[in-house]
């Protein structure tokens, strides 16, 4: 579904509208992934407060916490469907405003929730409900944000503009890790467990208000305006109609293929960037601070690689860059884990290893948003790329912590994270081979 359909002249390089689209699209992604990162980093504390009643085991509580984490991801496809259809019909701008309001409200309320000790069995259910609302809003965020970034992008810059979505994911995860590390440093363990974990969630409120202000100033994209302004009584041949209104089967096939192409990005990204703290603490007996330092290093590598990877994909194509990332992630998975498991390995070597792991995920994440946007026409882009991304994340990211923790518990094999990364990246590489080498040079379909 990458046939070229040319429309009026696109945005010029660095135009004010393009820059506003980047900022307005990026800010919601930052908030979304800041919160998801915070939830992952504080998983053991949230487990103790909400999922571990008197007499329950820590491992059992952590598994329930990750189950709640996974549930939110499974609401993402629902959100992508609902908000995607709205965004493809009434516009990207109003839909993204609604999404950021829902996301901000749900995240702020998590910071105000009573714990199991205060409310009893209702507490984990309320937390899970708010996680579901977050999943709905997150499902509507990606498709809209990437649509406005790529539809406003100047010629030859879609990879760069789309990479800002992934870059703000990295910034959000880093922001969450930095806040968790700061609180772990300045607060006692008792204070952190009793009330300190709430602070990062409550900080979402002022961030959400800033995001709302930015999105209220955003214009609708040129591509969407062109589809709305087309005369309804103008004659059109069947080929043109198929380009503008693609068949449901064609869109579904593109969604499945897109999800397969980013499977490695989803799985390796969450394994190395979010699940790592709990793995290091629960399996390798690292301290909370040590686990966070490792996570910060991985996310720094991730952030450092994303924008260069997006720019490189504008020159040599999405396929070459993303294939390199998937192959390197699969090759490095076992050496990385073996190094982390070695008590005699130097800390700088471990830090460099997790930095490199983050960087190879960045090779997939940089070109990924533009690659997905290029698979769908304007009339289905918000829905299509949002569903491809959310389905991949629901299965391979949201379940990563649950699958890895449960399998380690059952088998005792501490190499489970490496097996998970290798298998998913291998499948992703096969799907990426179906990409055409010149897709990055073609115009987005109207």
* 434 φ, ψ (degrees, to nearest 5): -80, -10
* 169 φ, ψ (degrees, to nearest 5): -60, -50
Q: Give the per-residue pLDDT at 6.
A: 43
Counting Cα atoms < 13 Å in the Cβ hemisphere of 216 gives 7
**Cα 49 from Cα 264, distance rounded (Å):** 33
Tokens 């291998």, located at residue: 426
Closest CA to 422 of 362, 353, 336: 336
- CA distance readout (Å), 171 to 87, 143, 157: 26, 19, 21
What token pair was written down for 150?
């790529």
Tokens 């959100």, located at residue: 79
What sign does the dihedral 279-283-284-290 (CA atoms) show? positive
Residues whose CB falls within 8 Å of the CB of residue 413, separated by 6 or more in sequence, listed in order: 407
| Global pTM value | 0.82
16-218+246-438: CATH superfamily: MFS general substrate transporter like domains (1.20.1250.20)
Mean pLDDT by 10 residues, the chain (446 residues): 44 68 87 81 79 61 67 85 94 93 92 88 87 89 92 91 91 85 87 91 93 90 81 50 65 94 91 73 70 81 95 95 96 88 81 90 96 93 94 81 80 88 95 89 82
With beta carbons less than 8 A apart as the criterion, state whether 33 and 168 touch. Answer: yes
Residues whose CB falls within 8 Å of the CB of residue 19, separated by 6 or more in sequence, listed in order: none
Domain segments of the chain as ranges? 16-218+246-438
- In eight-state DSSP terms, residue 235 is -
Q: Give the per-residue pLDDT at 145.
A: 92
Q: Give the per-residue pLDDT at 82.
A: 95
Q: Give the per-residue pLDDT at 403.
A: 80
Spell out the long-range contacts of 335-343 with Cβ–Cβ below 8 A and sequence spacing 24 or more: 336/272, 336/418, 337/414, 337/415, 337/417, 337/418, 338/415, 340/280, 340/284, 340/294, 341/284, 341/414
Q: Give the per-residue pLDDT at 138.
A: 87
Q: Give the per-residue pLDDT at 123.
A: 86
What token pair was written down for 304?
């450092």
Q: Give the per-residue pLDDT at 62.
A: 65
Q: Please report the DSSP string for 109-125 in residue order.
A: HHTT---HHHHTTHHHH
């Amino acid at each position: 579904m990458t046939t070229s359909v040319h429309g009026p002249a696109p945005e010029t390089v660095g135009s004010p509208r393009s820059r506003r689209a980047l900022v307005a699209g990026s800010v919601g992604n930052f908030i979304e992934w800041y919160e998801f990162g915070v939830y992952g980093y504080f998983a053991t504390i949230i487990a103790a407060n909400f999922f571990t009643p008197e007499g329950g085991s820590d491992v059992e509580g952590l598994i329930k916490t990750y189950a709640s984490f996974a549930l939110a991801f499974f609401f993402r496809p629902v959100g992508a469907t609902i908000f995607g259809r709205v965004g493809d019909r009434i516009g990207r701008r109003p839909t993204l405003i609604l999404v950021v309001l829902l996301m901000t409200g749900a995240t702020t309320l998590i910071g105000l929730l009573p714990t199991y000790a205060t409310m009893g069995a209702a507490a984990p259910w309320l937390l899970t409900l708010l996680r579901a609302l977050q999943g709905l809003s997150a499902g509507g965020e990606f498709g809209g944000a990437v649509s406005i970034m790529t539809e406003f992008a100047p010629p030859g810059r879609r990879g760069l503009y789309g990479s800002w979505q992934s870059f703000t994911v990295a910034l959000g995860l880093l922001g969450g890790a930095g806040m968790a590390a700061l609180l772990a440093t300045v607060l006692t363990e008792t204070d952190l467990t009793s009330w300190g974990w709430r602070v990062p969630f409550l900080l979402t409120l002022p961030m959400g208000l800033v995001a709302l202000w930015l999105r209220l100033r955003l214009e609708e994209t040129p591509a969407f305006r062109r589809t709305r302004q087309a005369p309804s009584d103008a004659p059109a041949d069947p080929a043109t109609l198929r380009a503008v209104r693609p068949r449901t089967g064609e869109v579904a096939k593109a969604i499945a293929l897109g999800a397969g192409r980013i499977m490695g990005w989803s799985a390796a990204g969450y394994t190395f960037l979010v699940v790592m703290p709990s793995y290091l603490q629960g399996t390798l007996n690292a301290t909370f601070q040590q686990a966070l330092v490792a996570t910060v290093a991985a996310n720094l590598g991730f952030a450092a690689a994303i924008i260069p990877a997006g720019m490189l994909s504008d020159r040599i194509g999405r396929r070459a860059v993303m294939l390199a990332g998937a192959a390197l992630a699969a090759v490095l998975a076992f050496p990385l884990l073996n190094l982390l498991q070695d008590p005699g390995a130097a800390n700088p070597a471990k830090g460099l290893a997790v930095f490199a792991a983050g960087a190879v995920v960045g090779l997939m994440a940089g070109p990924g948003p533009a690659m997905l946007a290029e698979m769908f026409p304007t009339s289905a882009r918000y829905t299509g790329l949002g569903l491809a991304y959310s389905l991949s994340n629901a299965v391979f990211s949201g379940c990563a912590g649950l699958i890895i923790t449960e399998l380690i518990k059952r088998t005792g094999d501490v190499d489970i994270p490496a097996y998970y990364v290798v298998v998913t990246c291998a499948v992703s590489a096969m799907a990426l081979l179906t990409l055409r080498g010149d897709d990055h040079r073609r115009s987005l379909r109207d």
